[in-house]
Amino acid sequence: DAKTTQPNSMESNEEEPVHLPCNHSTISGTDYIHWYRQLPSQGPEYVIHGLTSNVNNRMASLAIAEDRKSSTLILHRATLRDAAVYYCILRGVADDKIIFGKGTRLHILP
Amino acid sequence: GAGVSQSPRYKVAKRGQDVALRCDPISGHVSLFWYQQALGQGPEFLTYFQNEAQLDKSGLPSDRFFAERPEGSVSTLKIQRTQQEDSAVYLCASSLDRVASEQYFGPGTRLTVT
C-alpha cells in the first residue's frame, strides 16, 4: 500500500489559515487522496478528497501538486474547534478499508 | 439524521471476561467496518461487512475476536477471554456502498481490561 508522510504536530493561531502538508511519493495513478480528522474523544470524520485537481468544500480546500507526490489540506480560518488529528490517506478506487497513519496533531492557539 | 451509534461507550472488563460491543450503522448503509485504536495511534482495520457477508477479517488480531452482522444492519464485535492488550477504543464505521466511499464513524467504545 502506498504510504503517506505527515508532520507529527503543528500549531496555528486562531483565525489564521492553516496548511497541513502530506507527502505521498509512491502514489499510483488511480489512488485518491483523502483527508479525515479526529476531534478529541470522537471517531474520525471525512474532510475532503481529490484525485488530480484542487478541491474545495465547506470545511477545507485540498491543493494537489502537479506530480501528485504531495498535497496540502488548507483550513482557511482556523477555530479552536479545528484542533484535532488530521489524517492524509491514499485510497484506490477498489479499496474498502481505510489505512490510517499517525496523522498530524493540530493545536490551535487562542 | 442519526449517525452511527455504538454501545456501550465505556466498558471495563476483568482479564478473562468476554465482552460484546454493539454498532448501529446509518440506515441503508451497505458496508460496515470495525477498527481498533490504541492510545496515541491511528485506527487500525479489523474487519469489514457488505450487508451480512463478512468479506474481510484480515485485521482481527486473534481467534478471540469475532464479529457478526446477521441481518445486514446492526453489528456486534465480540472479544472472548479479554487480555490487557485488548484495551483500546473500538470504532465502527459505515458507508453507503463499497467502493472507496466516505465512511461515517461512530464515537467508539473505550474498552479497559484490568
Q: Mind listing the pLDDT tens digit for each residue in A53-77?
A: 999 999 999 999 999 999 999 999 9
Strand arrangement of the beta sheet that strand A18-23 belongs to: A18-23, A70-75, A61-64, A55-56
Q: Which residue of A has its CA nearest to B4?
A: A43
* Alpha carbon of B46: minimum distance to chain A alpha carbons (Å): 9
Rounded to the nearest integer, the mean pLDDT of chain A is 94
Residues B12, A18: Cα–Cα separation, whole Å = 39
pLDDT digits (tens, 9 = 90+) for B29-88: 999 999 999 999 999 999 999 999 999 999 999 999 999 999 999 999 999 999 999 999
Contact indicator for A22, A50 with CB cutoff of 8 Å:
no
Report the 10 Å Cβ neighbour count for A95: 18
Lowest mean pLDDT among A21-30, A87-96, B73-82: A87-96
For residues B87 and B18, the answer to whether their CB atoms sit within 8 Å is: no
Nearest CA-CA distance, residue A102 and chain B, Å:
5
Q: What cell numbers appear for B2 in the block?
A: 442519526
Query: Is A87 close to B48, i.e. CB distance below 8 A?
Result: no
The verdict on a CB contact (< 8 Å) between A44 and B43 is yes
Which residues sit opposite A84 in a β-bridge?
Answer: A106
Burial class of residue A35 (count of CB atoms within 10 Å of its CB; 0-12, 13-18, 19+): buried
Q: What values do phi and psi take at A5, rounded to 5?
A: -125, 125
How far away is chain A from the Cα of B48, in angstroms, using its nearest Cα?
7
> Chain A to chain B, count of Cβ pairs less than 8 Å apart?
60
- Residue B16: CB atoms within 10 A of its CB come to 10
A105 to chain B: which residues are within 8 Å by CB?
A: none
- Split at pLDDT 50, 70, 90, the class of B98 is low
| Average pLDDT over every residue of A25-34 | 92
Examine the pLDDT at A110 and tell me if it is beyond 80. yes
B-chain CB neighbours of A45 within 8 Å are: 104-105
